[in-house]
Structure 1
Amino acid sequence: MRNAARGASIMDMVDLPARFADRYPKELSGGQRLRVAIARALVMNPDLIVGDKPTSALDVSVQSQILNLMMDLKRELGPTHVFILGNLSVVEHLVDQVAAMYLGRVVELGGAAQVFAAPRHPYTRALLDPALTVAPGQGLPDIGLGAAFPNPLAIPPGCPFQPRCPRAFDLCSRVRPHPADVAFGGAARHLAEEPLKGAA
């Protein structure tokens, strides 16, 4: 009985009716299945919840409901959430700290407000620049990073981003920059003192 009561309590937390306890996944919508996944994560009272693109398969209205739910649960229950996300508009409003990654390495780390207002790494800057235009027939804008992607199994010497970086100079091809500091944030680039103002 204790387990049943706990299950009912968790289902209530994620806004699922108790009658859903006996349903199969094929009988649930995408948003309902995600709520079940969140409920399963909460059953063990975790200190840390990791969400890998948790709302990527949902339509916009359901995404909003799920993100609001996750923020409410964080406030009420207190677990730390780590989100792996590509939608920067979601990132900006959902998290306190941001880590931008390139080729599996953190290239910038800092408070969300700080990173979005004044990014210090060219890759972060490129991610934040508009990627699409509303004008028909205009295609994708040039964000100054080139079309070539380095082989992640054969990362170039020096800074891994330097083959695509519009601000690269000689040192970048020879010396790998210090990583972003976990405690204090910052960017993994040789000239990281000043924020970057926009696409080069």
Structure 2
Amino acid sequence: MRFVPKFLLSAMSPDHFPDSVRTGDAPEVAFLGRSNVGKSSLINKLLGSKEAKVSSTPGRTRAINFFALHDGTPQKFAARPSLIFADLPGYGYAKISKSISAEWPTFIEPYLNEREQLSLCICLVDSNIPPQESDTMLINALQQMQRPYLVVATKSDRLGGNQLTKSLTALKKAHSVDRILPVSSKTEAGVKTLWPEITNLIQD
């Protein structure tokens, strides 16, 4: 699949969310997870670019960053995007959790709960650490909102075969999900598999 990615805008309130004039009501895919779980790195691998800013400091993403994906090539691409990626602020990092938590009800929860264009939520969990309650809370919230979601385990390259299997089993049990897709932004393992997951779920 070939897209030309373009940074669209950053939003810190519902008033800033992109309107249909800019997006053509293209379906949106939201990327969510704990701070430093690798949201921006995964988005860049999916896009084949460095549109999403990556930082080693947790909590740097404080706005919802929107990226428009246009059909075509850099030389010639469609005026209106076919898909929108939304990179949401992370949560769960101790030093910034209070400030991030305070911001969630003001614009992040309205985005997840009310955004008509939101077609899929990609929930990123870290395969290298034990299951986190904050991830379970997010998944439960999306279920209550009746939002389609897919759980993706990042940093899978750091674990051997048996270790990764054990980690995925523990994550499935803790989050009460039947399936988790392991990916690695470093080796790109699982990235090609994720693309059809995104497009199939949107088409459904």
TM value normalised by structure 1: 0.30
TM-score normalised over the length of structure 2: 0.30
* Greater per-residue strand proportion: 2
Structure possessing the higher relative contact order (Cα contacts under 8 Å, 6 or more residues apart): 2
Q: For the pair shown, which has the larger CA radius of gyration, 1 or 2?
A: 1
